[in-house]
Structure formats: structure tokens, C-alpha cells
Amino acid sequence: MTEQRFEQLVRELEGYAQAHPAQYKLKVALLAFTGYAYVLAVLGTVIVLTIGCFLLIKDGSGGHALLLKVDIALIILAAVIVRALWVRLEPPTGIELRREDAPRLFLLIDKIRNALGTPAFHHVLIVNELNAAVVQVPRLGVFGWQRNYLLLGLPLMLTFTPAQFRAVLAHEFGHLGRQHGRFSCWIYRARVTWWRLLQEMTARKHWASFVFTRFLTWYAPFFNAYSFVMAREQEYEADRNAARLVGPHCMKDTLASLAVVGGLLRESFWPSLEQRNREAATPPETYLHDLAGAMQAPAHRERAQALFGEALREQTGYADTHPSLADRLAALDKVPAKKGAPATSPSIPQLLGLHEDSAGRYYLGQTCDGLCGRLNREWAEQTKDAWKQTYDEKQNTQTRMLELREKSAAGELAEEELWEYATTVEALEGGEAAVPLLRQLVDRSPDHVSANFALGRLLLAQGDRTGLQRLELATAKDRDSFLSAAALAEEFLIRTGQHEEAAGYRERAMQRRELLSRAEEERQWITPYDAFLPHDLSRDAARALANELSALEEIGEAYLVRKQVRLMPEIPAYVLIVIPTYHWYEWRKEEKNESLLTRLSQEITLPSHTYIIVLESQIKRQWKKKALRLIPALRLTPRSTDEASEQAAA
């Protein structure tokens, strides 16, 4: 389903659900049952055919040998289908928290659970994220039997007040509470489960998964669109349920604070961390303390009001079921305030750092320090290699920047050196210092795509609308940069309240993504009946590829071809077709083919836009008869005389 069709369908369903709520729920329910019916129908058909063959053999009908072979094949197919369907969805990871570790926290969890009718949690995990979430992992795949996980982000607990933290938990618990109703909770779980199942099956690429992946590729987006309206209403309902527990004022303050904290991290904390990466070869072991403390800096608190205003200007879209901040705050105005509580939203969200009044200190007590230390050490250990690599690169960049600065002062920079100088200055000194250099470069070379794009991006970040013109100049010369440019333009226009113009960029980006998606689908679906042409690589490039392939002993023959495509024919669609050579007595050839496919994609230097196919032995002749009949194979270098003889005999 294309992005445009998805939005169109959701808009239609929004009106339909409002006019006919009962009929809408019935359609969603029927669509939900369709998924389960398909799964059961596939398994049931295979089982019935298996039993039928067995009964025919038992009755003494003719063709025992053939029926026995068919029966064995069906049993194998049934086992493979069950194996493909029995996808194990990986549970979330984190630091397991026990009741005795934080009794006050577990008392809060129990109170909210009882108030909202939420099922019990099997695991409470502390994670290093500015978030809290309720995750259900079905032990029986699409058939449920959920194991419930509560994920609590320690950065969130260190940043928010106890009241704000209670509001966040109440919202998350509300998605599984009885206020949603059994039906809504079931639909909520089904949406998540079907998507995760599709992702896992697509990643595994088991040969029998196609029975379900082709269906799920159609079904999951369609079910997502139909249940989208209900899912969005559930967000509003979860907000209302939380507001009834903590008060509308506290809930509004919490939602506003979430938006502001995200902006402060993006504008302040992450850049400050990058600056430290330039100055020190090892990552700090005070990551969480620094993050929470950054929210308390006076300069950052002054920026909070502006970020709050920007968040309020965002509009509700269709990329996410969460409504915009403005719509969520407006909906909470209808919830009666608690007696004695303020009735209006705060003008500046209340943010707290690492001190005695934070939710982390209040609910975790003495355990908080131990968790902070452990997560700090884990973060430092996980990032130390990448941190050191970045530090070394920054040091080399610093040296190179000084060299270029000397040449610039002498007026000796060539065009590409000026581009390099501008990018190094931005990396080390920030975008504001790089803008004059980029202006100098585009004055010298008006068609420089990268310079126009970078200048446009930095101007928009500074609030300068002329950045849009620079992005348009860049995309006119390089269509591949359009999606990135459109995203920057849309974000700037929304931030400045120009929603109509932002919608224009968004519409153009949707059309471009749809074209790319259709072109990718056309290229990925490869059969021996497609029209193929010889590759257009140079002789040296083809020879180099053949030499690399020759190093893999499993490869018997290899062909590099171009598939004739209808969409975006200016971009070549190369296909590397590999015929492996295995001895007749070797087992587990399917797994070996998957391993070979992985090695080809990771170890071989291929042209851009190349797709790889490792042919199964049973379809090799069909490919050679149809698609490869007139295409010469790559000349592989024999590994030995014996191997060359074996390949010739094959």
C-alpha cells in the first residue's frame, strides 16, 4: 500500500468511524479475524491433504509409492510451514528490577494497575532511554499468550518529577487497561503482533515463509490502515485515563515536557557530547548525570519556551498514531480538573534534573545510584570503540583544517579543497562558521550540488528562508537528494507555521517515495521469465569481479546481467546469478545457500543496484534454459585442475 493510498484510506475511515462507529468496529473485527483465518486455512489445508493421502494408502488404493511420496512431502511442508510461522519474537532487554529493589516504585505500579485494570507484568526492566513503555511479547506468535514487560527509562526518571513520571506510566498502562475494553486491547495487540511477525519473517527469508509473507505484505498495511483510527482514539483515551489519575494539569505539563526535553537533547546535549568527543579519547562515565543536568542549565531553560511554541505548531499527521501536542492538550481541556488544581496548561513546562525531587530519586531510592553507575559504565563500554575512532578522525580533521586554513589565507584553495575546508569547519566549529565558506564556494561554482545542499540545510537551521532556494538548486541537479531536502524544508516550514507550503513538500516527497518503492519492487521480483541483457561493465571491472568470485569455493558458475525495467530505467538493475557447486551427498544445502548469499553481499565488490540470487539445484535448468540461454557466464578462475574438471563435467 502506497503512502498516499494509506492516508486517503485513513481519512475516509475517520469520517466513516465517526458516522457509523458500530459498523466501523465490525469491519475492523472482520479484518482482524481474516489474518487468523488465513493462517489456520493454510495449516488446515496441508493437514487435510496429508490425512487424505494416508487414508488412500490405508484403503489399499493403487499408486502406493506415489501416494507415500506425496504424503511425506506434505508432512515435510507442514513442518516447514509451522517452523516458518513459529517466529520467536525477541523480548526486550534491560536491568531486571525486583520488588525489594524499589518497593515505592512497585507500590506505584500496583496502584496504577489496579486503577486501570492492567494485567500483571512479568518483568520490570530499567533501560537507558528517555522513555517508558509497556511491551507484550506473544509466546505463541499470532495466537498470543502474552508475556508482559514494563520498560522504564532511567534518563526519563532522572529528568521528570514524580508526578510527571506517574502521568507517563498511567498513559502507557492505559493501553492495556480495561477502560479500552477487551476488543480495543485485542486490536492494539494484533496491530503490533502482525507487524513484528512480518518483520521477523522478512528478515529470516526462510523458503516456506513466502506462504505468509506475500499475504502479510498485503494484509499488515491494510489492517494497519483500518485500525489506525481506533489506535489514534486509544491515544486520546490513554491521555484521559491518565489525567483522571494525576489531574489534567499534570498530564498537560507532562506532554509539554516530553516535547521540550526532546528538543533540548537535540539542540544542546547531543552537540555537547560531540564536542567532548573531539576533546577526549575516552567517553565520559557520567553520561546519565550529564544528560539530566543539561535540562537544568539556565540557558537551556530559557530555550524551553521557544521549543514549546514550536511543538504546539506541529499538526497531527498520518505517519504516527500519536496526535500532535496541540490536539492532545485541547482534548485534555474536556477532562474535569481535580479540586484545587490549576485548570490551565503551564506556560513553561516544569523540568527537573538529578536532585532529590526527581522521579528516579523518589521511586528508586538508594537503588538509583547503583543503576546510574551500572548504566553509565555499560554505555561507556558499548561506545568506547566508536568514540575512540571518532576522536582519532576528529584529530586528523583538525590537522587537515589547519592546513586548509593556511592555504585559504594565501588564496590557494581549489574548488574541491574549499568544499573540504567548509565541511571540516562545520564538523569542528559548527554550521555558523561554515556558512561564509559555503557562500564563497557557490559564488565560485553555482552548480555545486553538495555545497548548495549544505548551505540550504544550515540556512534553514538558522531560520533563514533563502535556504529553500539552495535546496531547490541542489535537487534540480541531483534527484537522489530530493527526499532529504524535502524533509528539511517541511520541518522548517512547520516550525515557522507555514503549514500549507509544508504540505506541498510533503506531497511531492510522498510521490517520490511511491515511485522509488514501485521501482524497487519491480527490481526485487526476479524470475527466469524476465528479460535480461548482458552487463555493461568494462572488461577490467568484469575481470575483477570474476576474480573475487573465484575465491569462493562454493561457486560453480556466475552470471552478471541487467534486468530490463519499466520504472526509472536510467538506473541499471544488475542481477548477480550464482550457481553453487555441492557434492551430491552433502546435506543442508539450503542453509549453505543462505550462508553463501550473506558472504556475497558482504565480501564481494558489486556495482550499485545489484541484486543477488543463489539458484537452488531444482530450478537451475529452468534459469539456464530461459534467462541465461544467450548470456555468457563470468570467467571464473579454476581453484585447481580437479575442480576445473568437476565444473566442466557438471
In which residue are the cell numbers 511554541 written?
309
Residue 508: the pLDDT is 93
Position 411 confidence tier, pLDDT thresholds 50, 70, 90: confident
45-76 pLDDT, tens digit per residue, is: 878 887 887 777 776 655 567 767 776 777 76
What's the angle, vertex CA 224, arms to CA 220 and CA 230, rounded to 5? 150
Residue 299: the pLDDT is 61
Distance CA 118, CA 178 (A): 7
Residue 352: the pLDDT is 45
pLDDT of 84 over the 60 cut: no
Phi-psi region of 609 (alpha: psi -120 to 50; beta: other; left: phi over 0): left
Span of 375-389, 472-486, 619-633 with lowest mean pLDDT: 619-633
Residue 55: the pLDDT is 77
pLDDT of 382 over the 90 cut: yes
Give the Å distances, CA to CA, from 548 to 35, 392, 543, 553, 578.
45, 32, 9, 11, 13
Higher pLDDT, 198 or 385: 385
**Run of H or E including 293:** helix 287-294
318-343 pLDDT, tens digit per residue, is: 888 889 999 999 999 888 776 655 55
229-268 pLDDT, tens digit per residue, is: 888 888 898 899 899 889 999 999 999 988 888 888 888 8
Residue 623: the pLDDT is 81
Span of 350-354, 396-400, 519-523 with lowest mean pLDDT: 350-354
Position 485 confidence tier, pLDDT thresholds 50, 70, 90: very high
Average pLDDT of the segment spanning 278-287: 91
pLDDT of 281 over the 80 cut: yes
Residue 191 CB coordination number (10 Å): 20
Summary count for the chain: helices (H), strands (E): 25, 8
85-100 pLDDT, tens digit per residue, is: 565 667 889 999 999 9
Residue 127: the pLDDT is 95
Question: What fold does the segment set 532-649 form as a domain?
Answer: GMP Synthetase; Chain A, domain 3 (3.30.300)
Question: What fold does the segment set 413-523 form as a domain?
Answer: 1.25.40
Average pLDDT of the segment spanning 425-430: 90
pLDDT of 556 over the 90 cut: no
Domain ranges, ordered by start, for the chain: 3-85, 413-523, 532-649
For the record, the C-alpha cell of 207 comes out as 523458503
Distance CA 184, CA 118 (A): 13
Higher pLDDT, 362 or 338: 362
Residue ranges of the alpha helices (H) in 86-209?
Answer: 103-116, 154-159, 162-174, 181-204
pLDDT of 585 over the 70 cut: no
Residue 60: the pLDDT is 61
Higher pLDDT, 620 or 457: 457
**Run of H or E including 294:** helix 287-294
Residue 447: the pLDDT is 92
Residue 478 CB coordination number (10 Å): 14
Residue 123: the pLDDT is 93
Residue 551: the pLDDT is 86
Position 364 confidence tier, pLDDT thresholds 50, 70, 90: very high
Residue 650: the pLDDT is 38
Position 143 confidence tier, pLDDT thresholds 50, 70, 90: low
Distance CA 457, CA 226 (A): 37
Mean pLDDT, all residues of the chain: 83
What share of the chain in percent tops pLDDT 70? 83
